Amino acid sequence: MHESVAGWEEGEAGNESFSFMGKQKKYESELESLFLQAVQYDRAGDVYNAVKLHKRLTRLAPDWSEPYACLSRIYKNRQEWRPAYYYAKRAAEINPFNESAWQNLGIAATAIGNWTTARHAWNHLGYHFEPGDQAIQSDLGVVPVCLNPDTLPEIVWARRIDPARAVVLSVPQPRSKRRYGDVVLLDQEKRRVRVLGKKRLVIYDELELLASSRHATFCAFLLSDDPADLDLLERLCRDASVGFDNWSGANRLLLPRHAHGVQEIFDRQVFEEEKAEHKGFWVALAAREESAVRGVLEAWQVVSLKKYCRLVCMLR
């Protein structure tokens, strides 16, 4: 009898265990279904319902990192840095192996100037910055950056001074409202690559302008089609700390990232009707004062024995 009762009790306990496991699986399945709905809303551009469902999930499953990570990414893409910071930090605390959460935490911390957290986040991802509360000033190399990726995309060269900030080295075209020397915030998601020789370079998307340069953008036409004259002007600009770029024949304006393909290259306000009349190069120069630009161009004329024309300030 004792064995019979014991067996019955064990059977009841087993049934209760199976029942609990069944309910748990059903609950987890419902959570996953809600998560997939939120992701679909986000992909369809319905940010309101995506955020609403993800926040609901953080209440239903507070120890699940993915909804927090998704919220941090949504707020990052909207440049709402306080909530982006909060949700990325929570996602990283719950799941320290969530790399995208640490990336978004580093970006958001950089955007709001929380350098202690930014350094900690980047170090978690393999960097070796000294702990501290000062802005990072490093040299992580020159990379291609897509300015204004959602509206007026243009690929320029920039020097990364930390994982999420870069100083623009090219002279952007005036429609971008960006300048030589601007400091921009970089996304870490890898959406595009640029092939240079045999190298494939990741193109970083700009998230936000952090600090505007005081350099104005000038454009001029060199009455020379000799590449050596172009190289000479570039050297003179470098020696005079004047920004330089060759705007002739570059292929760097793109369609917004939600569209496809490459559009016509240049801002039409730059190039009007110099085409057939003269052979030469369109060049861009950047300086705080026009006198610095004129000084470099006049020195170039003396050395090259060539002329320039149509010097115009495109962006103050």
CATH number of the domain residue 267 falls in: 3.30.70
pLDDT in tens, 133-157: 999 999 999 999 999 998 889 999 9
- Are residues 7 and 108 both part of a single domain? yes
Last-in-domain residue among 156, 188, 211: 211
Whether residue 165 contacts residue 186, with contact meaning beta carbons closer than 8 Å, is answered with yes
Q: Are strands 216-222 and 308-315 parallel, antiparallel or unpaired?
A: antiparallel
- Are residues 53 and 69 both part of a single domain? yes
Parent domain of 200: 142-211
Predicted local distance difference test score (pLDDT) of residue 5: 37
Mean of pLDDT values over 202-207:
94
Dmax over CA atoms of the chain, in Å, equals: 115
- Are residues 99 and 31 both part of a single domain? yes
Predicted local distance difference test score (pLDDT) of residue 271: 52
Q: Which range among 31-35, 179-183, 297-301 shows the weakest confidence by mean pLDDT?
A: 31-35
**pLDDT higher than threshold 90 for residue 90:** yes
Q: Return the CATH number at 56.
A: 1.25.40.10
In a domain, 187, yes or no: yes
- Are residues 52 and 147 both part of a single domain? no
In a domain, 73, yes or no: yes
Mean of pLDDT values over 250-256:
52
In terms of pLDDT, which residue wins out, 316 or 28? 316
- Are residues 186 and 251 both part of a single domain? no
Predicted local distance difference test score (pLDDT) of residue 185: 98
- Are residues 160 and 112 both part of a single domain? no
Whether residue 267 contacts residue 196, with contact meaning beta carbons closer than 8 Å, is answered with no
In a domain, 136, yes or no: no
- Are residues 52 and 117 both part of a single domain? yes
- Are residues 191 and 155 both part of a single domain? yes
In a domain, 134, yes or no: no
Last-in-domain residue among 124, 155, 183: 124
Query: Binning pLDDT at 50, 70 and 90, where does residue 27 land?
Result: low
What DSSP string runs through the chain? -HHHHHHHHHHHHHHHHHHHHHHHHHHHHHHHHHHHHHHHHHHTT-HHHHHHHHHHHHHH-TT-HHHHHHHHHHHHHTT-HHHHHHHHHHHHHH-TT-HHHHHHHHHHHHHHT-HHHHHHHHHHTT--PPP-SSPP-----EEEEEESTTTS-EEEEEEEEETTEEEE-S---GGGT--TT-EEEE-----EEEEETTEEEEEEEEEEEEE----EEEEEEES---HHHHHHHHHHHHHTT-EEEE-SS---B---TTS-S---SS-TTT-SS-TTT---EEEEEEESSHHHHHHHHHHHHHHH---EEEEEEEE-
Whether residue 229 contacts residue 179, with contact meaning beta carbons closer than 8 Å, is answered with no
Distance CA 156, CA 6 (A): 77
In a domain, 27, yes or no: yes
Predicted local distance difference test score (pLDDT) of residue 129: 97
Mean of pLDDT values over 208-224:
97
pLDDT in tens, 3-23: 433 443 444 544 454 454 556
Domain count, the chain: 3
Residues 6+ apart with CB under 8 A from 248: 280, 281, 282, 283
Tokens representing 176 are: 């971008």
0.75 exceeded by the pTM?
yes
In a domain, 129, yes or no: no
Residues 6+ apart with CB under 8 A from 131: 116, 119, 120
- Are residues 168 and 104 both part of a single domain? no
**pLDDT higher than threshold 50 for residue 31:** yes
Predicted local distance difference test score (pLDDT) of residue 9: 43
Whether residue 221 contacts residue 284, with contact meaning beta carbons closer than 8 Å, is answered with no
- Are residues 161 and 225 both part of a single domain? no
User: Across the chain, what does the average pLDDT equal?
Assistant: 87
In a domain, 206, yes or no: yes
- Are residues 229 and 197 both part of a single domain? no
- CA 64 → CA 23, 47, 87, 93, 119, distances in Å? 18, 20, 12, 11, 25
In a domain, 135, yes or no: no
In terms of pLDDT, which residue wins out, 265 or 186? 186
Distance CA 221, CA 279 (A): 9
Nearest Cα to 207, choosing from 103, 55, 53?
Answer: 103
Mean of pLDDT values over 274-286:
79
Last-in-domain residue among 176, 211, 246: 211
Predicted local distance difference test score (pLDDT) of residue 199: 83
- Are residues 155 and 247 both part of a single domain? no
- CB burial of 112-123 (b: ≥16 within 10 Å; e: otherwise) equals eebbebbbbbbe
